[in-house]
Structure 1
Amino acid sequence: MLFVDSVLLLAVIMLSFSIRVGHFYLPEGVLFYWVVFSAPIVAIPIFVRFGLYRAVIRYIGFKELWAIVQAVSLYALVLGVIGYRVADWYMTDVDNVVSSVILINWLLAIIAIGGSRMIGRWLLSETGSRKRTNVVIYGAGSAGRQLSNALTQSNDYKMAAFIDNNAALLGQSIHGINVVSRHDLGRLIEKKNVTEVLLAIPSLTRAERNEIIHFLEPYSVLVRSLPSVSELAQGKLRIADLRDVTIKDLLGRDSVAPNSDLLGLNIANKVVMVTGAGGSIGSELCRQILALKPQVLVLFDQSEFALYGIHKELINVGMTNVQILQLLGSVTNYKRLSHILQRFDVNTIYHAAAYKHVPMVESNNAEGVSNNIFGTLTCAQAAIDHGVDTFVLISTDKAVRPTNTMGATKRVAELVLQTLAVGCNTRFSMVRFGNVLNSSGSVIPLFKEQIKEGGPITVTDPEIQRYFMTIPEAVELVIQAGAMAEGGDVFVLDMGEPVRILDLAQKMIRLSGLQVKDKLNPNGDIEIKFTGLRPGEKLYEELLIGGNVSKTNNPMILRAEEEMLAWGDLKLILDELEQAVDSGDQVKLRQLLIKAVPGFKPQSLITDILYEA
């Protein structure tokens, strides 16, 4: 750039003289040497001092252009002083035109020096344009403009347009990019090959975000989004802040502000134990419990791998004032549980340990009963024997009028706690909710993997529906519900509206920028195949057995009044169940589950792998 600037400055000053006198003019004599040598000799040190040669041409912006104006202005001023002195010393016949030349030279030099860099930036940006992704930014506000600035410095993206719902902005231009209506998106996709829409309105409510995403769904574009205002760190936006819009953005809801008193009631400065600590729900319980500052957090799990993972994660949080303990063991081992509760004087237990995968438990009925029913019973008895204050069971909507062994075992576990709560100092409660997003074994991670592999996506039935909730929201409500317990309470979380799994699959395909392949669109990308209901699976899930419910202090948590068995009657069934498990009597086991849970209507015959009809 030194050589280019020198040539440009010489050309500019000679052009300035020519413009002033009205014809091509080449200075002669002493004035010629002044023109040839003074311009670059004066300018280059000034340009170096102002950092013009440190700026990267590809990323030149307003600050660099302002530095050019300042540097050229100082150069023109110094050169003008020299020009006056030369004209005065050597009594040249052009001293009367020097003042005009100074002004013309200043303007032309700004254009030449600044323009050369902008042309260089344009040429460099065009070099990689063939490989760049054409994008549209949805939102022409502050975040959208900052994101646009970031994109101009990227080799990966090329801006096609801004989209905004504000009619006052339509037809205007920001950074040379037009602002258009969202109804022009189809035209942009066709004419400019737009493949991504970047949602840059961090202040949107979830309902507003959902409306925009629903609008974008029919288009074959990948939708990416900036985080919400609460998630954005202060400072300049980066392209790295963008994340793919996921199904969580559509299924999640605007959260209700938690009751901080309830959150900390059973946790703050207490010894808290989480069984199944390495699972989807258990691990999130551990994260939120740690943030509420217990005295000791006991992580209990039978999976060495899962326990190691959550313990390592929590240790890295750096809360040195909380003792975090990792303990291996099974919830069916009373002696192990007894030693732990006695050693650490546990105040609160969140019982998340369970086998929950419906087809898996259908193939392993005896283990499902052993872990889900007798594991809960063993934990509860140990809690009573060692004076635990609060015991919260993580239950499921599949416990309501179950059609599978897993749901039936969870309902029996609820009955166990309801019965033990009578006349007991330990406050037992259970919290019942539906599917959580991205939990292990759920359809969403499966669909993601199937889309990544090019399909097909497998859906069991076109009409199957499920309730969904984010894991953090569910856990936050579980903690609050447990704090409201009086003993034997069955809490039910408001899951919102059920979602049809077929619709879920179609949305995930479209959010990936792909098209559904079907009879109407045989050239689509991802096919959806129906495989039929699996053993124990039902089309619709429910949250309430009866209609007797009451509100709590949190509108997202309901208290259900449901029937229970007397301990004597339940104990007889449990004893027989234990014998059936020990003997591997699958027929007896099923009969006893139906006896304990009259609403249990098995959807399939016995499919346990060890069962011989």
Structure 2
Amino acid sequence: MGVARRLIVQYRRALVVAVHLVLWTAALLLALALRFDFEIPSAYGTIVPRLLVASLAVRVLVHWRLGLFHGLWRYSGARDLRSLLWAATLSSIALMACWAFMSTGNFPRSVFALDWAFSILIVGGLRFSIRTIREVTLQNAMPQSSGKRRRILVIGAGDAGEMLMREIVRIYAKRYEPVGLLDDNAGKHGEHIHGVPVLGPISQVTELAAEKKIDEIIVAIPSLSGRQMRELLELCRPTGAQIRTLPGVDNLIDGSVTVSQLAEVNIEDLLRRVPVTLDAEAIGRSIQGRVVMVTGAGGSIGSELCRQVSRFNPKRLLLVEQAENSLFHIDRQLRAEHPSVDIVPFIADICDSRRLEEIFAAERPHVVFHAAAHKHVPLMEANPGEAIKNNVFGTRKVADLADRYGAEKFVMVSTDKAVNPTSIMGVSKRVAEMYVQALSQRSRTQFVTVRFGNVLGSAGSVVPLFREQIAKGGPVTVTHPEMQRYFMTIPEACQLVMQSGVMGKGGEIFVLDMGEPVKIVDLARDLIRLSGYSERDIEIEFTGMRPGEKLFEELAVDEESVDKTKHPKIYVGKFRPHALSELERAYESLHAVSNGSDVDAVKQAFKEIVPEYKGGVSMTLPPDEPPVPTERSSQSIVSTGDRPTPALA
């Protein structure tokens, strides 16, 4: 059985084509038999084989070109039916045209019409029969839930709600009892979706949940913003029912919705933003068939960049990472999810010039995404020499090699902490930005920098820390009641990094629209509530700001103006250019203090390069009214809708 299964998997495509050939042969013979009352005249004895060969050849070519031999029949749906109709119609028209040139006598045209209809019925019937058998098998195999079925109420009677309800009714009927749906579209009230009624507007969720004895509420509106999700969660909370939701629409890559995607409402849902719209065609042109390198490939941003890049079929993906375990995990994951991509893992430290040069010389990457960096502010304050070695000189080494070996594009991942920096980490990233921009002035490589704020759920970030503290019973530690940060999800940040890389021509620093800043204390309160506790159960403790921290992060600097780009979430900032020769001299002073033993000397060396750097803790509060830019002003704002969000300081 195992051998047979392996052979089927190995030769699946050939088997699919063979099955189609048999079905199309049956369709044509049935069409001929029906046309001639099951007595095909002997005069057609030599014509039928010619017609059959022509029919099979044309149908194979058309169906192969349309990709209809690649789908999995057990997942056939309306889209597959449309594709079958289109392929059958095209191939029948092509067959009639070919036959008009090949045939020397009259031939009943009704045969072609019958053959068209039978090919759709037979092929489509087999595909949907396999899907039906699968669904029945899954439903029978689904274990009966202990006790009674869970009564569910679905919020959202749109496409996502319909797809979810269809799967529940067909496969998970033993586990769930769908009671109804809620939707604010009055035209849907009283209607039924897969036999389940639309009961009324969402505002009635509390009374309907009590009346119908609902165990679980499912939010099936992936397009909800974070603010709308917070409001809906507050509306549903008094019901006492378990609340689950689907991921945001930007994470539903193929638009499909399944029960397996349901999850408890989490903090990412409460901070959900408008989905990112990507120029997939332009990104594909820049990556497909190219050798792409990602430094820091095992980190939160680097690993997600690898996943995003893999979707666009690079010729080869180079994973450069100094942490062995992190590299092992992302390498294994990518190979499982993208078996067609040639993935090459390299254990390498970006501070190791010889190792880096070996990789560049052997692989000659076309595109480099530089995400390797030390990012923890307090740790870099305590270890400033490591920030110099890694963030400054490590970036310089990677950038110089990209230039020397003719990379087409170099995209550096930067941070909002590089703006008017108050920390060693922030100023080290600012110096790296300056070098990359200076190098772009004389290099054929297009050097681009992308700057954004905090990402939710990244390793060592505030959200995992809060979750760990809540799991231990508290307290949840917040440094200051007024501290604010910009947040976005890791996939969104990486998608915008890739988009910026495509848009950049060299020398730009792109600033991502981070939306509205969020108070860290509000984030802590939301996480406590989502974990099923109140502030009476889990205390919030204010510990005071740490060295190098600001209350409010910015996204650009005074010497910079931000212009809109063709992408609504990406802005471009133009800095005063720095001469590469000046920076190289300044780097000598940094190199002299790179052991980090004299912290004051390190800070002074940074201050000589970045005059706006102010070491120590900044207690600056966010402005109540962000400045409105004029044509001559060096300050700008990023518009995020009804009100401006400060982007420059």
Task: Work out whether the TM-score is over 0.5.
Answer: yes
CA deviation string 1:126-160 (max 9, x = no partner): 9935xx766543245635754774798456x6777
What is the CA distance between 1:246 and its match in structure 2? 2.1
SS in 2 for 1:526: coil
Matches for 1:118-129 after TM superposition, within 5 Å: 128-129=147-148
1:456 aligns with 2:469: no
- Aligned counterpart, 2:252: 231
What amino acid sits opposite 2:234 in the alignment?
Answer: E
The aligned counterpart of 1:540 is 552
Q: Secondary structure at the match of 1:350?
A: strand
- The amino acid that maps onto 1:231 is L
Contact persistence 1:161–1:180 (CA under 8 A): no
CA displacement 1:260-287 (0-9 Å, x = unmatched): 3431343221222111111111111111
1:575 Cα deviation from its structure 2 partner: 0.8
Deviation at 1:433, TM superposition (A): 0.8
- 1:567 has 2:585 as partner: no
Alpha-carbon distance in structure 1 between the residues aligned to 2:337 and 2:199: 44
Contact 1:173 1:179 in 2 (8 A): no
CA distance in 2 between partners of 1:297 and 1:578 (Å): 32
Q: Is 1:214 the equivalent of 2:235?
A: no
- For residue 319 of structure 2, what is the aligned residue in structure 1? 299
Compared CA separation, residues 457 and 151, structure 1 to 2 (3 A): farther
Cα distance in 2 between the residues matched to 1:402 and 1:583: 18
1:285 alignment counterpart: 305
Structure 2 Cα separation of the partners of residues 267 and 261 of structure 1: 10
1:399 alignment partner in structure 2: 418
371, 385, 398: which one aligns with 1:366: 385
2:289 counterpart of 1:275: no
Q: Deviations over 1:14-41 (max 9, x none)?
A: xxxxxxxxxxxxxxxxxxxxxxxxxxxx
Q: Distance in 2 between matches of 1:151 and 1:136?
A: 17
Match of 1:410 in 2: 429
Q: Aligned-pair distance for 1:571? A: 2.1
Map of 1:436 onto structure 2:
455
Deviation at 1:188, TM superposition (A): 6.2
Within 2, Cα distance between the matches of 1:205 and 1:148?
21
Superposed, which structure 2 residues align to 1:180-579 within 5 Å?
181-187=201-207, 196-201=216-221, 204-207=222-225, 210-217=227-234, 219=237, 221=240, 222-227=242-247, 231=252, 239-320=259-340, 322-512=341-531, 514-517=532-535, 522=536, 525-546=537-558, 547-579=560-592
SS at match of 1:273: strand
Q: Is the 8 A contact 1:217 1:510 kept in 2?
A: no
Matched residue of 2:334: which SS?
A: helix
**How many Å separate the matches in 1 of 2:325 and 2:593?**
31
Confirm or deny: 8 A CA contact 1:151 1:158 kept in the other structure. Answer: no
The answer (yes or no) to whether the contact 1:143–1:200 under 8 Å persists in 2 is no
Contact preservation (8 Å) 1:265, 1:483: no
Do the aligned partners of 1:210 and 1:249 also contact (CA within 8 Å) in 2? no
- The change in CA–CA distance for 1:355 and 1:152 in structure 2 (over 3 A counts) is closer
Counterpart of 2:545 in structure 1: which amino acid?
L
SS at structure 1 position matched to 2:593: helix
Decide whether aligned partners of structure 1 residues 246 and 126 sit closer, same or farther in structure 2, where only a CA change above 3 A counts.
Answer: closer
> How many residue pairs align between the two structures?
467
Cα 1:226–1:318 shift into 2, 3 Å: closer
CA–CA separation in structure 1 for the residues paired with 2:516 and 2:538:
27
TM-score normalised according to structure 1 size: 0.69
Cα displacement (A) at 1:313: 1.2
Residue pair 1:356, 1:406 contacting (<8 A) in 2 also: yes
User: Which whole-Å CA distance do the structure 2 matches of 1:339 and 1:239 have between them?
Assistant: 47
**Aligned with 1:138 (options 133, 155, 161):** 155
Q: Which amino acid is the alignment partner of residue 443 of structure 1?
A: V
Cα distance, 1:548–1:197 mapped onto 2, change above 3 Å: same
> Is contact 2:153–2:180 with CA below 8 Å preserved after alignment?
yes
Q: Cα distance 1:419–1:257, how it changes in 2: closer, same or farther (>3 A)?
A: same
Q: Check whether the contact 1:137–1:199 (CA below 8 A) recurs between aligned residues.
A: yes
> 1:585 aligns to what?
598
Which segments of 5 or more consecutive residues in structure 2 lack a partner in the other structure? Answer: 1-143, 619-649
Contact 2:229 2:269 survives alignment (8 Å): no
SS at match of 1:316: helix
- Identical residues among aligned pairs (%): 41
1:53-72 matches, cutoff 5 A: none
Q: CA offsets, 1:30-60, max 9 Å, x none?
A: xxxxxxxxxxxxxxxxxxxxxxxxxxxxxxx
Distance 2:220 2:206 in 1: 19
- C-alpha displacement at 1:214, in angstroms? 1.6
Q: Which has the larger displacement, 496-505 or 307-316?
A: 496-505
The alpha-carbon deviation at position 450 of structure 1 amounts to: 2.9
Contact 1:276–1:282 at 8 Å: present in 2 too?
yes
Task: Give the superposition deviation at 1:557.
Answer: 1.5
Assess, with a 3 A threshold, how the Cα gap between structure 1 residues 142 and 568 changes in structure 2: closer, same or farther: closer
| Deviation digits for residues 264-318 of structure 1 (CA, Å, limit 9, x no counterpart) | 3432212221111111111111112222222221111111111111111111124
**Superimposed CA distance per residue, residues 219-261 of structure 1 (whole angstroms, 9 cap, x where no aligned partner):** 25542113567839899x8644421222222323223421234
For the structure 1 residues 188 and 491, does the alpha-carbon distance in structure 2 shift closer, same or farther, using more than 3 Å as the test?
same
Contact 2:367 2:407 in 1 (8 A): yes
Q: Is the 8 A contact 1:465 1:499 kept in 2?
A: yes
CA distance in 1, matches of 2:196, 2:292: 58
Name the CA shift for 1:154/1:509 in 2 (closer, same or farther; >3 Å): farther
Distance 1:297 1:133 in 2: 45
CA distance in 2, matches of 1:601, 1:479: 32
CA contact (8 A) 2:304 2:494 kept: yes
CA distance in 2, matches of 1:270, 1:127: 53
Which residue identity lines up with residue 224 of structure 2 in the other structure?
R
Q: Which amino acid aligns with 1:285?
A: L
Report deviation, 1:603: 2.9
CA contact (8 A) 2:414 2:450 kept: yes
1:193, 1:450 → 2: CA distance? Answer: 34
Q: Distance in 2 between matches of 1:262 and 1:176?
A: 43
Change (3 A) 1:169 1:270: closer
**Matched residue type, 2:597:** G
Determine the structure 1 residue equivalent to 2:27: none
Q: Find the aligned partners of 2:204 and 2:233 in 1 and give their Cα distance.
A: 12
Alignment counterpart, residue 179 of structure 1, candidates 193, 199, 204: 199
CA distances 1:437-461 after superposition (whole Å, capped 9, x unpaired): 2111111222233333343322222
SS in 1 for 2:498: helix
2:57 is matched with which residue? none
Q: Normalised by the size of structure 2, how large is the TM-score?
A: 0.65
- Whether contact under 8 Å (2:292, 2:365) holds in the other structure is yes
The alpha-carbon distance between structure 1 residues 493 and 187, as it changes in their structure 2 partners (threshold 3 A), is same
Residues in 1 aligned to 2:172 and 2:490: alpha-carbon distance in whole angstroms: 37
Cα drift, residue 376 of structure 1: 0.6
Q: Is the 8 A contact 1:516 1:526 kept in 2?
A: yes
Query: Are residue 600 (structure 1) and residue 621 (structure 2) matched?
Result: no
Q: Give secondary structure in 1 for the equivalent of 2:585.
A: helix
Is 1:361–1:405's contact at 8 Å kept on the other side of the alignment?
yes
Separation of aligned partners in 1, 2:228 and 2:518: 16
CA 1:555–1:270 in 2, change beyond 3 Å: closer, same or farther? same
Q: Aligned-residue CA RMSD in angstroms?
A: 3.3
Determine which structure has greater relative contact order: mean sequence separation of CA pairs < 8 Å that are 6+ residues apart, divided by chain length.
1
Instruction: Give, as a single letter, the amino acid of the residue that structure 1 aligns with 2:310.
Output: L
